[in-house]
Chains A and B, each alone.
Chain A
Amino acid sequence: MRKVFVSLTLAFGMFASAVSAETIKVGVVLPISGAVGGFGELGKRGIDIAYKNQSTTKNGDKIELVLIDNKSDKIESANAMQKLVSTDKVSVVIGPMISTNALAMTKIADDSKTPLISPVATNDRVTKGKKFVSRISFADSFQGIIAANLAIKDLGANRAAILFDNSSDYSIGLTKAFRDQYKKLGGEIVIETNAQAGTKDFRAQLSSIKAAKANMIYLPIYYNEGALIALQAKQLGLNMPVIGGDGLVSNKIFFDVAKDAGEGYMVTDYYSTSSKQTEKGAKFIQEYEATYKEPVSTFSAMLADAYGLAISAIEACGANDKICINDKIRNVTDFEGISGKFSLQNGEAIRSAVINEVKNGKLVYKTTIEP
């Protein structure tokens, strides 16, 4: 009889402890479909691996991911954020990927006092003046300056052509930063022309660039159009260095389509698999390559880091204190992530940048630039 009693108490105790463990909801908004669906796919891989390794907090609370596809659309993004805040009551939201979509979500984050971690949206306005939005990537103003420095100081290319997308906040932001710094360093911008996302023929723009006798191209464009631009530039016989931002060669499709036309393209980025890794980073590369049989993309690493940062803030504050979670995220110091070590100051990341270069159809680490 006593045995039964003891085992019953034990069973009940275990049951009770299982009940006391909460489920904490984390919202994830990614472009799984639509124009930048390729980003979303890579982002999801990062989140999936990170979640597999850390699906409970150290108090034993279970994390539940609420994933919403924003279809690469800003209105869908705003709706997703609204739903996560009011219906799902999440503790923190991670995402989305691109600046235009992120900008549609920031006001809801502030109004509802829900911390939003932007993994890779780089436009300056994403975090500017916001109390509940932080980002772990650097801003366009930083990225554009690095690109201009690289062009003038390292490549000695003083006649730049800029081919950007005037419908993308990311592209406009990078262009502005690059243009200012480039002129400050004594370079001349000989032609500025636009290429809108969704179009496929850029021969007219590229022919004009060729005629303008530029000696480099700055290309703050995403991978879809970027690959076609590379291909058509080569067909038109444009032979000059090309520098892009973090979105240019960020999907396998760029290498598939551009092939040797993309050779030598340089991009400013947060992360490289061939530079020095953190302990977490090395493990991530191993797991990622085993699962997906592809080199790790920057975007996968960044999404995994956004998740890691969110969990560490939840662990420090508990699930319901969104103000505390937000504060922990916005002012984290020396967070050791997969993409390297970084700190946040009032929601803005302070981290080093790397320059990657396309060599033999692969992205190869070139140098690191400290902030």
Chain B
Amino acid sequence: MDFLTLIQQCINGISLGSTYALIAIGYTMVYGCLRLINFAHADIMMVGAFLSFFAINSLGLPFIASAIFAILLCILLGIIIDKIAYLPLRSAPRISMLITAIGISFFLENIFNVFFGSTPKFFNAPEFLSQNINIVGISLTHITIIIPAVTILLLIMLLQFLYNTKQGMAIRATAFDIHTIGLMGINVNTIIAIVFAIGSSLAGIGGIFYAVSYPTIDPLMGVLIGLKAFAAAVLGGIGSVGGAVLGGFILGFTEVMAVAIFPNLGGYKDAFAFLFLILVLLFRPVGIMGDWKLEKSRF
């Protein structure tokens, strides 16, 4: 591999990894608070992409407005899912919530299948986003720069929120001990609703970005990327926001490099990604940035 190709592959890795990172943050936040792996998360991402698609094509909104529309509805959806599906199970064994999450995931996939059909739809984002920039033989599109930048920006904003606001402190406290915090006069359900709202908005943003980079959307688009983002969250250390972002980038990078180094095994790039995950977890079971003293700190 010559130097230029190597740089190109690195950029490919960053562009793929940043979408994983964005979705992984949502997994990690909900897990941190509720110890729940929210399998419906990736489907909210799909919903975000479809709502934006719907707003552009059927409501005639411009792209930015459609994105805001989609993100707001995703937030609403996240809160509703929490209220309907998870709230009644707050004191039930954790496995019940996990099963409900899978149920919600199937429900969302199928309802969108009914309304939009299973054939992929073309997501017509503004031309500008997929326009090409060519620097000394290395090509990248505008969106490949925008996504990592937005991911990092959102990460910084989220950390600011968690560490410098009252609600942020309450979220961290909930993550620390959900049972005691209720006794301290904090409304746990409101805090959890905020967590779902943040997670879902990130999923919505992720969905729209994903649809811009790979402009075909279908009701099952969340399945594979959800699995990857979940793996990224685990790799980075589930419960750690920074870890989720790092895990996303590492996973995207591993996949791209696996294909670049072994082109004949390109079809197995997912296997490479998961093999790498297993290797990391063998040596560091809590993930890269996870804390060994799991119960002591969060995010």
Contacts and interface: CB of A to CB of B under 8 A. Distances in A.
A205 B5 contact: no
A236 interface: yes
A203 B256 contact: yes
Interface in B109-167: 113, 117-122, 130, 132, 134, 137, 139, 141
A200 B9 contact: no
A194 B264 contact: yes
B1 interface: yes
B255 interface: yes
Nearest to A207: B8
Contact of A205 (B1, B139, B214, B263): B263
A256 B122 contact: yes
Given A33-B113, A194-B266, A208 B260 contact: yes
Contact of A207 (B12, B113, B118, B224): B12
Contact of A228 (B16, B134, B214, B260): B214
Given A193-B264, A236-B139, A207 B9 contact: yes
Given A37-B117, A204-B9, A192 B16 contact: no
Nearest to B132: A235
A366 to B, nearest CB: 26
Contacts of B12: 201, 203-204, 207
Nearest to B121: A253
A166 B5 contact: no
A195 B267 contact: yes
B215 interface: yes
Interface in B272-289: none
A257 B260 contact: no
Nearest to B225: A200
B158 to A, nearest CB: 25
Given A200-B216, A205-B259, A192 B267 contact: no
A38 interface: yes
B5 A208 contact: yes
B266 A237 contact: no
Contact of A211 (B1, B213, B267): B1
B203 to A, nearest CB: 17
Contacts of A201: 12, 15-16, 213-214, 255
A236 B256 CA distance: 15
A333 to B, nearest CB: 37
A368 interface: no
Given A38-B119, A235-B139, A253-B122, A204 B268 contact: no
B260 A204 contact: yes
B2 interface: yes
Interface in B231-269: 255-257, 259-260, 263-269
A37 B118 contact: yes
Contact of B2 (A192, A199, A211, A236): A211
A257 B137 CA distance: 25
A211 B266 CA distance: 15
A231 interface: yes
B218 to A, nearest CB: 8
A231 B215 contact: yes
Given A204-B256, A224-B216, A227-B216, A165 B267 contact: yes
Interface residues of B, number: 41
A174 to B, nearest CB: 15
B120 A224 contact: yes
Interface string A234-250: 11110000000000000
A38 B119 CA distance: 5
B122 A257 contact: yes
B132 A207 contact: no
Contacts of B141: 235
Contacts of B268: 194
Contacts of A194: 263-268
A37 B119 contact: yes
A228 B113 contact: no
Contacts of B139: 235-237
Contacts of B13: 204
B119 A196 contact: no
A205 B259 CA distance: 6
A234 to B, nearest CB: 8
A334 to B, nearest CB: 36
Contacts of A227: 216
B105 to A, nearest CB: 17
Nearest to A192: B264
A38 B120 contact: yes
Given A208-B259, A211-B2, A228-B214, A34 B118 contact: yes
A207 B122 contact: no
A207 B119 contact: no
A207 B269 contact: no
A239 B256 CA distance: 22
Of A38, A227, A235, the most chain B CB neighbours within 10 A belong to A235
Interface string B3-28: 01100110011011000000000000
Interface in A159-216: 165-167, 191-196, 198-201, 203-205, 207-208, 210-211
A48 interface: no
B166 to A, nearest CB: 40
26 contacts: A32-B118, A33-B117, A37-B118, A37-B119, A193-B259, A194-B263, A194-B264, A195-B266, A195-B267, A196-B267, A196-B270, A199-B224, A200-B216, A204-B255, A204-B257, A204-B260, A205-B263, A207-B8, A224-B120, A228-B214, A235-B132, A236-B8, A251-B119, A253-B122, A257-B215, A257-B216
Interface of B: 1-2, 4-5, 8-9, 12-13, 15-16, 113, 117-122, 130, 132, 134, 137, 139, 141, 213-216, 224, 255-257, 259-260, 263-270
Given A191-B263, A204-B266, 12 more contacts: A167-B267, A193-B264, A196-B267, A201-B12, A207-B5, A208-B263, A211-B2, A224-B120, A224-B216, A231-B215, A257-B122, A257-B216
